[in-house]
Amino acid sequence: MTMTSFAPLTINEVVIIESLEDDEVKTGQHLADYLNGLQTVQEKGIGIRLQKCNHASECVEQLRMLTAEAAQHGSRPILHFECHGSMQSGLEFANGSDLGWTQLGDELRGLNAATGVNLLVSISACYGAHLLTDMASLKPAPCLMMIGPMQEVTPSDLMAGFRLFYRILFNSGSAGHAIKAVVDQAPGVWDVTHAEYWFDLIITNYVKESCTRQGIKRHAMEMHTRSKQDGAAIAVGRFKRELLRSHSKDLSGEMFDTFFLLDAFPKNRQRFDSARRRLESKLNEFRSTGLYML
């Protein structure tokens, strides 16, 4: 199995999942044909695989099969979706079923883990960037990178944007160059995000909302109330102390390790070390203001 490095990714194929109605232009097939015609794709031996599905549950089955392939055979795909999307419902499939952004994120977590945190997800669907709404929780990252539109976009604009993205990616060998080309072509349309940015944003929002004196008091009271409901009333002060300990150690420690799956892939610690140091520096800036209990 031939692997090719496209900083910061290593890939061997592009998997396109297409779910469109019979009377619609088959944009997934068109993209597959376009990619197969690129000279660099042929020279680098990158596989192009088109998988069609009719409903959400079939898509989930396909994602789990890709996860098994990555875990058992070491495949490293770029995952590309060609379907419709909704801000509220998530991905929409040919038979009218949908796959919510949260459920999609959970399925992608398995695939991202199986690739060793090496997954790029491209969503050619309106509001595809709303996959990011599932990043508010401190779960493992669903992918290393994501590219998708933030709004309703015409099929022709989606096709043009992704053709440009893949052409620059394969010709330059740099995901960063490809991302810049797409964003510059249509400012305000695309959201391209790296997992390191997601985590930084999650922690920043958490500190601002939950690490003030008022935030800690509120959180401790909520925990105290739940403990009473569970029949074991624990003092509010104890919960405050636990929260303070967690804030001082876990934000750039255990939570960081969980998000980037570093316990499962300890070799990645060096890979994400600069992101940890940037986060620790930001936390120190918060501490220096005296407004946050870290």
Closest residue by Cα to residue 104 from 117, 118, 92:
92
DSSP 8-class letter at 174:
B
Q: What pLDDT was estimated at residue 137?
A: 57
Mean pLDDT in residue range 232-238? 78
Cα 171 off chain centre by: 24
pLDDT of residue 1 exceeding 80, the answer is no
Q: Which ranges of the chain does DSSP label H, i.e. alpha helix? A: 27-36, 39-44, 56-73, 101-114, 155-172, 175-185, 195-210, 213-229, 236-249, 254-259, 273-289
Mean pLDDT in residue range 79-104: 88
Identify the residue with better confidence: 49 or 227: 49
Give residue 250's pLDDT. 87
Is residue 144's pLDDT more than 70? yes
φ, ψ of residue 21 to 5 degrees: the values are -75, 165
Distance of CA 197 to the CA centre of its chain: 10
C-alpha–C-alpha distance, residues 71 and 61, integer Å = 15
CATH no. of 4-194: 3.40.50.1460
Cα angle 161-141-109, degrees, rounded to a multiple of 5: 90
Residues of the chain above pLDDT 70, percent: 94
Look at residues 201, 120, 191 and name the one whose alpha carbon lies nearest to residue 150. 191
Q: Say whether pLDDT at 128 is over 50.
A: no
Cis peptide bond N-terminal to 266, omega within 30: no
Say if residue 43's pLDDT is above 70: yes
Q: Report the alpha-carbon distance of residue 150 to residue 189 in Å, rounded.
A: 6
Domain-wise residue ranges, the chain: 4-194, 198-289
- Pairwise pLDDT comparison (119 vs 83), residue with the higher score: 119
Q: What is the mean pLDDT of residues 34-50?
A: 94
Look at the pTM and tell me if it is higher than 0.75: yes
Q: What is the mean pLDDT of residues 42-50?
A: 94
pLDDT at 271 over 90: yes
Percent of the chain's residues with pLDDT above 90? 48
* Region 90-106 average pLDDT: 90
Q: Which positions ≥6 away from 67 have C-beta within 8 Å?
A: 110, 111, 114
SS3 76: coil
Q: How many CB atoms lie within 10 A of CB 17?
A: 22
Q: Is the pLDDT of residue 278 over 50?
A: yes
